[in-house]
Structure 1
Amino acid sequence: MFKDLVVVVTGGAQGIGRGIVQEYARNGANVVIADINKELGQQLEMDLLAQGHSVLFAQTDVSKEQDIVSLMQKIVDHFGTIHILINNAGKFQHKSLYDLTLDEWNDMIQTNLTSFSGCTNTR
């Protein structure tokens, strides 16, 4: 169903993102695992490659424009294009909104709301 499509999943190394990556890989997609966690991302990549799937891990902090630019270049170099982009990465503070510092708030907003949509120079 997804054979030969290139799917990028941010936050793809763990939780819901991991499940999304696994399902697309099982359905024939070329999957890019974009995640800040290098250890989990590399492990998932190795596991899926060992199963014969086409995957690529790219350590990426979606709150940093340069990481997104680097990710895009890596995808273009490896697969040539993107067909599906799943913006799954997110940060959530486990405390009251009133207790957040301005830096914590800004980091959460940058990751959850701006990230890919705020980087227009990635073509």
Structure 2
Amino acid sequence: MDDDRDGKLNLAEFSTYAYDGYKSYAEFEPNGARVGTKLEKFLELDMNRDNFLSEEELIPMIPYLKPGELSYARHYTSYLIHESDDNGDGNLSIDEMLNHEYTFYGTFFQDDEDDDDEFHDEL
């Protein structure tokens, strides 16, 4: 992410490499926190106000930049609820899940027309 190799991120580098990854996960967090703009997040992280983000200042971003399995599970669960919760109560009923079956199937199965699942004769 550090294009100029100075050991820290400026606003342009943060905007190009870090913010979108952060935003894609933060938007679906259960607490519904406001994500904010690139500049707002940059200024929030820039604790010493030097207009650069050091490694230490980027520590709160690690779960968003290098998410683990639990983060993926939370992200996709929030996504599924967001897409399928017709009455907006934050929970999914069996009817909502059945009414949005392709949202669930599409998360796990991809229609790959180039993938040939036919019998392959190896001999």
Same fold? TM cut 0.5: no
Task: Looking at secondary structure, tell me which structure has more strand per residue.
Answer: 1
Please give the TM-score of this superposition, normalised by the length of structure 1.
0.29
- Of the two structures, which has the highest relative contact order with CA contacts closer than 8 Å and spacing of 6 or more? 1
TM-score normalised to the size of structure 2?
A: 0.29
